[in-house]
C-alpha cells in the first residue's frame, strides 16, 4: 500500500463534526476504510469529542429514547435496497466492496467518451445530478476531457491509478481539487482506473461538445 495523498486536517475536522455534505462524507469514510494513516489522525479527534460531550449538561429531550428508537426502526423498514446493482444509477455498495474490482466491473456504466464511462450512485431519493457520487472508469492510458472546477472535487482511487500533471494517484490515494485551474487526469497504462468522485458543482469544460452534453451526463 502506497498512500501519499491524504485528507487535510480541516476536512477531517469537518467530517468528524458533521459539517461535510453527504457526498463528500461518504468519500472521506471510504478513504478512512483504506488508509490507516488517516484513521490514526481521526482517533485523537474522537477522544476530544468524547471529552467535550462529558462536560455538556444533559438537556431535556422532546422525545423519549423509546420513541426515537421506534422512529428509526420505522425509517429503516421503509428503505428499499435492491438485491443487485443492475442499473446505471444505484445505491452504494459497502465501502469494502468499493475497492473490489470484480464488484465495480459488475455495475452497468454510461458511455461518456471513448474509453471513459460512469456509474452514478444515489445516496437518497434525490434525482441524480452533477453533484452525485459516481464511479468513473477510464481505460488504460485514456485521459478525461480537460476541465476546471467551480468548487471542490474529491476523487478516491479504488482500482488502478492515474496521473494528473506530474503527480501520481494510485489505489487508496485521494485527490482534492478546489480551484478553477484546468487539469486532465490520465489513467496509467497498466490497467483500467476506477475512482469514486463527487463535486460541489458541474465541471467547467473547455471544449464545446462536453459542455453541450453535460445536462445529459449529469456532470
The residue-averaged pLDDT of 160-188 equals 92
pLDDT attached to residue 205 = 78
The domain locations on the chain are 1-219
Fold for the domain defined by 1-219: Jelly Rolls (2.60.120)
Q: Give which of 185, 105, 206, 203 is closest to 141, Cα–Cα.
A: 185
pTM of the model: 0.78
Q: What is the pLDDT of residues 155-172, one digit of tens each?
A: 999 999 999 999 999 999
Q: What is the pLDDT of residues 132-152, one digit of tens each?
A: 899 999 999 999 988 888 889
In the numeric block, the cell 458511455 is attached to 111
Q: CB under 8 Å to 51, separation ≥6 — which residues? A: none
- pLDDT at 202 > cutoff 80: yes
Q: Are the C-beta atoms of 14 and 27 separated by less than 8 Å?
A: no
Nearest 5°: phi and psi at 148?
Answer: -120, -170
pLDDT category at 78 given cuts 50, 70, 90 is very low
Amino acid at each position: 500500500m502506497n498512500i501519499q495523498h491524504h485528507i487535510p486536517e480541516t476536512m477531517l475536522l469537518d467530517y468528524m463534526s458533521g459539517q461535510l455534505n453527504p457526498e463528500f462524507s461518504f468519500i472521506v469514510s471510504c478513504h478512512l476504510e483504506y488508509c490507516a494513516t488517516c484513521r490514526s489522525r481521526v482517533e485523537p479527534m474522537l477522544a476530544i469529542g468524547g471529552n467535550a460531550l462529558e462536560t455538556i449538561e444533559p438537556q431535556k429531550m422532546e422525545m423519549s429514547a423509546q420513541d426515537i428508537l421506534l422512529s428509526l426502526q420505522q425509517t429503516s423498514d421503509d428503505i428499499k435496497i435492491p438485491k443487485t446493482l443492475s442499473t446505471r444509477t444505484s445505491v452504494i455498495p459497502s465501502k469494502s466492496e468499493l475497492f473490489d474490482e470484480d464488484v465495480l466491473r459488475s455495475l452497468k456504466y454510461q458511455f461518456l467518451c471513448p474509453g471513459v464511462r460512469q456509474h452514478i450512485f444515489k445516496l437518497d431519493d434525490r434525482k441524480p445530478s452533477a453533484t452525485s457520487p459516481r464511479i468513473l472508469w477510464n481505460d488504460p492510458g485514456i485521459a478525461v476531457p480537460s476541465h476546471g472546477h467551480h468548487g471542490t472535487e474529491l476523487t478516491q482511487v479504488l482500482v488502478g491509478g492515474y496521473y494528473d500533471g506530474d503527480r501520481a494517484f494510485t489505489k487508496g490515494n485521494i485527490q482534492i481539487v478546489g480551484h478553477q485551474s484546468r487539469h486532465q487526469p490520465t489513467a496509467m497504462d497498466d490497467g483500467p482506473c476506477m475512482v469514486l468522485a463527487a463535486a460541489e458543482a458541474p465541471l467547467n469544460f473547455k471544449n464545446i461538445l462536453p459542455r453541450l452534453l453535460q445536462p445529459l451526463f449529469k456532470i
